[in-house]
Every structure is written in structure tokens, then in C-alpha cells.
Structure 1
């Protein structure tokens, strides 16, 4: 390459390298911030999870793309039913996607938990939990939740807790017991990207939930 062309080309490469380095540092720094702010409030042992009046169970598909039962769904349902039995929570808010009549996460969770002997009066279904942000916004603004235990996988909890903090919820996290699952690294990698996007949602674009609706304060039934 002629010297006359190399100098500007080199300058462009250095500029691109600098931009890439800054983006990587921002990406890692954003994740480190979310993890640092939340890790002390995540418990991995169900019996010692912080007792709260309401447990939010985040929806996920009942089945994998391969047609087998989703182990992440199974872990969340198992954890939620055990938390109710151990009285770590008094009521479960089952929040998930219900965009079509063929896909209904809240009803699927409700059916599964009924089969695990969880009472109907101890469950409320939120059909507009289209995202983690929407679920937590609706918990506060529609269902009147103030103190809550978040029930999901350990890699999802930091982002969920961070959003809860930003919304003014008093939240702690209870990690659903994990089993070795093939391909979980893809979900963890996606979660790293989602944490960065969450900072933009909260502090740049001022995201709003897709749908709120009228207030429906939770009714917590007494235990026998």
C-alpha cells in the first residue's frame, strides 16, 4: 500500500479500535454494575430465601424447541410450589406472555402449580407480563405490590432485581434450583446483552410498559 494511503487507513483503524474498546468496556462495566448492585440479595437455597408477602414467578415456555419439557420452566414451578409450602411467600403472581390463544404462559403455570397442590386462592395470573420490565411495572402499578420475592433462574435475577430497584420495589431474589442443561450458555450470553439494554430502557429511553390497565390489588388469603 502506498505511504500516502497507509496513513489515513491507519488512522481509521485506530479510531475503529478505540471505539470498539470503549464499547467493550461499557458493555463489561454495565454488567459489572448490575451484578454488584444485586448479588447480595440473591439466595440460592430455597429454605432461607427472604420471606415476602408476594412471590413473582416469571413466565417461560413450557416446551423447548426440540419438543421436550423446558427444564427452566420445571425449576421455576418446583421452586414456587415449595416456597408456598414453606411459607416463604403467601401469594404467587404468575406473570407471562399471552399474546395469542395458542400460547399462554400464565395459564400453563397455573395448571402446573395446581397439580402441585397450590391453592387457587394463592395464585394471581398476570396475562400482560410480556417482558421482565412489564412484569415488574404491572406488579407495582396494577397489583399494588410493594415487597416481593422474585423467582427465576440465577442468571436472570440480577437484571430483574435491578429493574425492581429502579421501580421502587423492595425486592429480593430466590434462584430456582439449577440442573445441568445443554445450551444454557446461550441464555446467559443473551442475558449479558439484556442487562445493557435494560440500562438504556431505564435511563435513556424511559421505557413504559406495553399495557397497564386498571388497578387490581392482590387479595392474600389466610393460611389454615
Structure 2
């Protein structure tokens, strides 16, 4: 009886070890795949980001849980306002969480960007961007975007770009980082897990957005030809 129990425990431990090894390989492999397939679509300097009609700014809280200003929020707003100022983007889709009346990410983004000089007619708010996945599905199906620039932190962009391109959108990314801010290990770990979960959302369980709604295409003024925009960009970024 004792020998049978030992054999059973041995097999159980071997099975658990094999499952742990498989999970580890999937975790590492999934992250490597997302990073490797999106690296070519990410620009780390705003002046190098692809000019396009609409840029998507991903929502996050204006404040941290400790009650201080969220540097990630302000880095996104600063980058988005700069892209508008230098005519690389004509319009901004502000997509974030507004599950309750007391928490409204799009409205906070709108106010901050307006304070930074972005005109109200250059901004559209999406109040149902409850997740990165929801934001991109709604950008495609509700706001009728097939080509766009994604504006968020460098650690977030690979997942966002992977989702967008998997949905058939022509997306590139513009990094909105703050060089003075260190990304904590807990945030990195959460993002590593989210990348793997994204593969499941897309290819296994067929995730649907929390709320889709009816189409609301963003109406834009006609964009100037790119050969007229680029000279002015070069002059602005090389001016003393």
C-alpha cells in the first residue's frame, strides 16, 4: 500500500511538473511572439511616428492609487498633443473606461488635451473602451477606422498593435514614455500575462467587446498631401 501511494505521488508530481513546464514555455513563447511580430511597427521618437488621420489614445487613470498624478496618463497626453501640434495626426480618438459616473477616463483625457491646446473638434470620446481589446474592436467597427496610430507606453504598444493587426487594421505605434519613470515589476508581470491572454482572446475563446453599439464614423476634414506636411515637420523639429 505504501509503495502504491509513493508511485501515485510520483506520477502526480511528474504531471504537475510537465504542466508547469508547458505553461512556462507558453508564457515565454507567447510574449516573444507578440514582441517579435510587432517591433517593426513601433516608433520611439514622436517625430518619426507615421502621419495619419486619426490617432487612438488609450485611457488610464489620471491619478495613481497613492493619490499622485499618474505619469503614464500625462505622457500619453503630452505625446498626443505634440502629434496634433506638428500635424502628424488630425484627430484623436480618446478611448477609456467610464463604467460609473464617478470614473471617466475619456473626459479626463479631453480636459487635459484641451488644456494643452487641442481643439474640441479634433477629439472624439469613446466611453466604452473598457480594455485594449474593446478599444480596438470599437475603433474598427463603431468608429470605422481601418488605419490609425496607437498612442500609449512602450510596454503596452506590442499588445495593442498585435490586437489591431489581428483584427485586420493597419496600425502603427507611437511610444508615449516618460524617461524619468521606472516601470515597476508588477506592471511588467501584468503586461506579460496580458499578452498571453490576448492570444487566447483572439484565437481560442473568441472574445467579444463588453459593449459594441452602432457605427459612429469619425468625420474628418481633407488631409493635406504628405509631401506638403513633411517639409514643415522637418523645419519644426530641426529649428534651433
TM over 0.5: yes
Counterpart Cα distance in 1 of 2:144 and 2:13: 53
Counterpart Cα distance in 2 of 1:76 and 1:30: 26
| Structure 1 unaligned spans of 5+ | none
Q: Kindly tell me: are residues 183 and 175 of structure 1, through their superposed partners in 2, closer, same or farther at Cα, counting changes over 3 Å?
A: closer
Counterpart Cα distance in 1 of 2:4 and 2:96: 60
1:87-102 equivalent positions in 2, closer than 5 A: 87-102=87-102
SS at structure 2 position matched to 1:64: coil
Is 1:76–2:76 an aligned residue pair? yes
SS at structure 1 position matched to 2:179: coil
Deviations 1:45-85 (A, max 9, x none): 00011111110000000000111100000100000000111
Tell me if the contact between 1:122 and 1:221 (Cα under 8 Å) persists in the aligned partners.
no
Could you tell me which residue of structure 2 aligns to residue 208 of structure 1?
A: 208
Q: How far apart are residue 222 of structure 1 and its match?
A: 5.7
* Matched residues, number: 224
Is 1:14–2:14 an aligned residue pair? yes
Could you tell me which residue of structure 1 aligns to residue 194 of structure 2?
A: 194
1:49-198 equivalent positions in 2, closer than 5 A: 49-181=49-181, 184-198=184-198
Tell me if the contact between 2:42 and 2:157 (Cα under 8 Å) persists in the aligned partners.
yes
Counterpart Cα distance in 1 of 2:93 and 2:4: 66
Give the TM-score taking structure 2 as reference length. Answer: 0.89
| Structure 2 unaligned spans of 5+ | 225-240
Q: Kindly tell me: are residues 143 and 125 of structure 1, through their superposed partners in 2, closer, same or farther at Cα, counting changes over 3 Å?
A: same
SS at structure 2 position matched to 1:163: helix
Q: Provide the alpha-carbon RMSD of the alignment.
A: 1.7
Tell me if the contact between 1:59 and 1:105 (Cα under 8 Å) persists in the aligned partners.
yes
Counterpart Cα distance in 1 of 2:148 and 2:179: 25
Could you tell me which residue of structure 2 aligns to residue 23 of structure 1?
A: 23
Counterpart Cα distance in 2 of 1:111 and 1:209: 26
Q: How far apart are residue 183 of structure 1 and its match?
A: 5.6
Counterpart Cα distance in 2 of 1:185 and 1:128: 28
Counterpart Cα distance in 2 of 1:58 and 1:68: 20
SS at structure 2 position matched to 1:23: helix
Q: How far apart are residue 38 of structure 1 and its match?
A: 0.3
Counterpart Cα distance in 1 of 2:205 and 2:119: 40
Give the TM-score taking structure 1 as reference length. Answer: 0.95
Q: How far apart are residue 212 of structure 1 and its match?
A: 1.4
